[in-house]
């Protein structure tokens, strides 16, 4: 019995130290460093309007349904950041096939001037998180005809806007070129 009592005290003290370091000191240190080095990113890369109100984040997509704006990727979770994720369906899954067919039909109805074989796949399928704020530059260019027709904005002006918002690969090596739909639509709103 004496041996067990001699072990419990050090175990409790070590557990307390580990909880203090891992549960309090480390998170405080990492948060403090992030706030000092990159405060905008540490706060969620928020985007503000002219009234200094938060209108979104660079990191989370939003649903744009008005036909005069650029549309982002399909989201099976309606861009709800509280529950990111998507069903991990195989390409042969009937629910995924039906959802993709519905997306293609919606595309054809909203963009009759763009042939379906020219529609980038990211406009009719969703990302793994369901929150992707980006589309490919090709997906943005595919929407130029519809937006130009509805707004009267010259197609070249829209292409220039897309080019302005095209982000390159990370460190020039990783990922793909992409366009943040929220930022693009904010600049488009100014043209309107």
Summarised one tens digit per residue, pLDDT across range 75-124 is 777 777 777 766 777 788 898 888 888 888 888 888 888 888 888 888 88
Q: What is the pTM of this model?
A: 0.75
Distance (Å, whole) CA 41 – CA 86: 25
- CA distances (Å), 80 to each of 35, 51, 186, in order? 26, 24, 21
What's the pLDDT at 126? Answer: 80
* Residue 3, pLDDT score: 62
pLDDT of residue 47: 84
Distances (CA, A) of 37 to 24, 30, 42, 100: 20, 11, 9, 42
Q: With 70 as the cut, is the pLDDT of residue 10 above it?
A: yes
Tokens of 184: 């693009």
Tell me the pLDDT band of 130, cut-offs 50, 70 and 90.
confident
Q: What is the 3-state secondary structure (H, E, C) of the chain?
A: CHHHHHHHHHHHHHHHHHHHHHHHHHHHHHHHHHHHHCHHHHCCCEEECCCCCEEEECCECCCCCCCCCCCCCECCCCCCHHHCCCCCCCCCCHHHHHHHHHHHHHHHHHCCCCCHHHCCHHHCCECCCCCCCEECHHHHHCCHHHHHHHHCCCHHHHHHHHHHHEECCECCCECCCEEEHHHHHHHHHHHC
Token output for 57? 């984040």
High-pLDDT (> 70) share of the chain, %: 96
Give the per-residue pLDDT at 143.
92
Residue pLDDT, tens place only, 30-53: 999 988 998 887 777 888 888 888
**Looking at residues 125-133, what average pLDDT do you find?**
80
pLDDT score of 144: 93
Report the mean per-residue pLDDT for the chain: 86
Average pLDDT of 53-71?
86
pLDDT tens digit sequence for 148-192: 999 999 999 999 999 999 998 888 888 889 999 999 999 999 887
- Which has the higher per-residue pLDDT, 125 or 157? 157
The pLDDT value recorded for residue 30 is: 93
Please give the pLDDT value at position 119.
85
């Amino acid at each position: 019995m004496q041996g067990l009592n001699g072990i419990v005290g050090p175990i409790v003290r070590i557990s307390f130290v580990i909880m203090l370091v891992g549960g309090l000191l480390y998170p405080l240190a990492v948060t403090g460093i992030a706030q000092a080095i990159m405060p905008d990113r540490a706060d969620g890369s928020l985007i503000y309007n002219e009234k200094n109100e938060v209108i979104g984040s660079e990191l989370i997509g939003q649903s744009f349904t008005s036909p005069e704006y650029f549309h982002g990727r399909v989201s099976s979770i309606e861009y709800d950041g509280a529950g990111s994720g998507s069903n991990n369906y195989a390409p042969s899954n009937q629910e995924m096939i039906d959802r993709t067919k519905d997306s293609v039909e919606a595309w054809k109805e909203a963009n009759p001037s763009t042939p379906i074989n020219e529609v980038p796949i990211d406009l009719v399928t969703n990302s793994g998180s369901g929150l992707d704020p980006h589309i490919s530059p090709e997906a943005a260019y595919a929407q130029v005809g519809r937006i130009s027709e509805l707004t009267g904005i010259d197609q070249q002006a829209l292409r220039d806007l897309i080019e302005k918002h095209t982000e390159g690969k990370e460190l020039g090596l990783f990922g793909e070129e992409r366009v943040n739909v929220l930022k693009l639509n904010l600049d488009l709103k100014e043209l309107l």
